[in-house]
Structure 1
């Protein structure tokens, strides 16, 4: 079984071809960093236009690299949400058109489920497992019980972690994208020089918060102004450590709930763009060792937005007989756990 996947939910345009033996036959990603860098963040209209300009030839390139013709695929999968609605519409309409032309089933994939199931593509992981999904628009802890079956244990009550990295990078004038820029500065800095809060630490729930931490950084910058290069590096290091320790505290709480619910420790999967942060990975490795969980972190290219994860999630659904009609409507919000309380944070698109 072979599925063509399309991803266009934010600022990466991507196409991939994946086979059901967990082989990624082709995975093509075009970044839009240069288009958005002058603005210090993603501009939705520019992102949608870039998807429209490039998606067709990326699909052709993915098929060419895989050695698979469109007629040889078994289904077409495209991100149906959540995300920036203009980009999602481009991907969904392209997927539908290809499915109609080739006479193939169309599968609309939840972008978050693409991240959630990546560990099954890379590590053949069995259900259930605990997922920490941490990116520019999402910060959630979920119990992954099966394809289409998710129980949210915690989520951000305001901003996503990746959004906080971008805003702090902008305040420190470190450049865009914020995550890698903060990490580079933090590697030169002293995380112990400045004291910053660990939001929600010790709370009995598993929720996150980052807006107060961002404000604490803003006040620190104002207090230290004008900043030297060493000041910037030390603030970046203190901020990165605060984020990693706050996430670790919330995740450790979720590990306890998961172990009680599902009969003991299991796997902790970390996914999303912020999962590429080296400090966060080190911190999660430590708490996994303390709690008996196995840490599963997909390769960095499969943590950030990509179409291989969309193709794989589509394949998982197709194996179960799922497909969508041509009347599927793109969704700016699409929670994995519809029974959980609605998220309303500034950076949240779930």
Structure 2
């Protein structure tokens, strides 16, 4: 991969290559522009679904090996798709955490080598910050805004105040929203990935057949819980066994409805908590892979409308893991003059380092 170095100055505006390998997507993108006014020149995502389907979930060792085998090719495709060579890039960014350690090592090591070859700065990026900033890439949402961050590994409400300044308003005390979808799909034999499979089955089901709980509904604040909901789904499935297609559809619809009801309640409380920090949120946004769910988007949009706020969710291509959000986060951080930070990869990296740990301990530290 020839650098064709054009000198330290580079193009007139930032052109950032973003590398994402935190889980099972090998993704590389080129993003150009400035905060709130950036454009995606290319966004290549190579999924590993076929490699992990037989196991019902992501196998970290398989994911890391696949990243190592494909990252060079995906990077070449991203550069070619953007119509630029490596010399046109001003910065190289890569996810440094949180995520699966093996995959993170592949992407960050490749990114540092690429930056050294092109004599460009390397920017390590927090994967969660990239999700939180993605609505500024897609829709130019202005600070400060309230975020429902819902993914396979995380579920939390965040006040995005300015680049690098995020306050956790609440979060899950046990499982993530995406994990609950995946475990429900696996229990019902719907395969992997679970989120789209549950949503598809729910379209044919009756959301009122099962009265699944909304955990922590009576607790003050906007903390979340999904473990009890997963247990309720398992008990319902066991009671109805052997399951018919109708049973599966109804369980999925009722489960999805319970998640939506919980998010409606807790996102309204999150907006209340937000206003105690910053009185004028510009929007309620939903980010992360679970934010691709149409039912959940509609439920959160209703909350925003009742509160007199716009609701924003990035396009589906930016909900899941992707390199564009990584590149854009580097644009935001560089423009704000924020330090590059610790380049070491870490499997856990809380977005709000000032908040008390909710999950996780030991050498790896808090997950959230």
Deviates further, 163-172 or 252-261 = 252-261
Contact 2:164 2:338 in 1 (8 A): no
Contact 1:83 1:349 in 2 (8 A): no
Could you tell me which residue of structure 2 aligns to residue 14 of structure 1? 27
Contact 2:142 2:282 in 1 (8 A): no
Could you tell me which residue of structure 2 aligns to residue 183 of structure 1? 199
Q: 1:344 to 1:264 in 2, by over 3 A?
A: same
Question: Displacement, 1:206?
Answer: 1.0
User: Do structure 1's residue 341 and structure 2's residue 356 form an aligned pair?
Assistant: yes
**CA offset digits 1:7-28 (Å, max 9, x no partner):** 0000100000000141100000
After superposition, where does 1:31-110 map in structure 2 within 5 Å? 31-110=47-126
Could you tell me which residue of structure 1 aligns to residue 128 of structure 2? 112
Could you tell me which residue of structure 2 aligns to residue 256 of structure 1? 272
| CA distance in structure 2 between the partners assigned to 1:126 and 1:182 by the alignment | 33
Question: Displacement, 1:261?
Answer: 2.9
Deviates further, 141-150 or 195-204 = 195-204
After superposition, where does 1:116-195 map in structure 2 within 5 Å? 116-195=132-211
Could you tell me which residue of structure 1 aligns to residue 4 of structure 2? none
Question: Displacement, 1:267?
Answer: 0.5
Contact 1:202 1:249 in 2 (8 A): no
| CA distance in structure 2 between the partners assigned to 1:30 and 1:249 by the alignment | 36
Question: Displacement, 1:310?
Answer: 0.1
Please give the secondary structure, in 2, of the residue aligned with 1:13. strand
Q: TM-score, normalised by structure 2?
A: 0.92
| CA distance in structure 2 between the partners assigned to 1:338 and 1:323 by the alignment | 16
Find the partner of 2:347 among 321, 328, 332: 332
Deviates further, 199-208 or 308-317 = 199-208
| CA distance in structure 2 between the partners assigned to 1:261 and 1:320 by the alignment | 21
Q: 1:265 to 1:134 in 2, by over 3 A?
A: same
Could you tell me which residue of structure 1 aligns to residue 3 of structure 2? none
Please give the secondary structure, in 2, of the residue aligned with 1:321. coil
| CA distance in structure 2 between the partners assigned to 1:265 and 1:204 by the alignment | 21
Contact 1:107 1:322 in 2 (8 A): no
Q: TM-score, normalised by structure 1?
A: 0.97
Please give the secondary structure, in 2, of the residue aligned with 1:188. coil
Question: Displacement, 1:41?
Answer: 0.4
**CA offset digits 1:206-239 (Å, max 9, x no partner):** 1000000000111111111111110110001000
Question: Displacement, 1:320?
Answer: 2.7
Could you tell me which residue of structure 2 aligns to residue 279 of structure 1? 295
CA RMSD of aligned residues (A): 1.5
Deviates further, 103-112 or 313-322 = 313-322
| Gaps in structure 1 of 5+ consecutive residues | none
- The count of aligned residue pairs is 348
| CA distance in structure 1 between the partners assigned to 2:31 and 2:22 by the alignment | 19
Contact 1:106 1:323 in 2 (8 A): no
Question: Displacement, 1:345?
Answer: 6.4
| Gaps in structure 2 of 5+ consecutive residues | 1-13
Contact 1:156 1:345 in 2 (8 A): no
Could you tell me which residue of structure 2 aligns to residue 201 of structure 1? 217
Deviates further, 283-292 or 5-14 = 283-292
**CA offset digits 1:137-171 (Å, max 9, x no partner):** 01010000111100000010000000000001011
Deviates further, 130-139 or 17-26 = 17-26
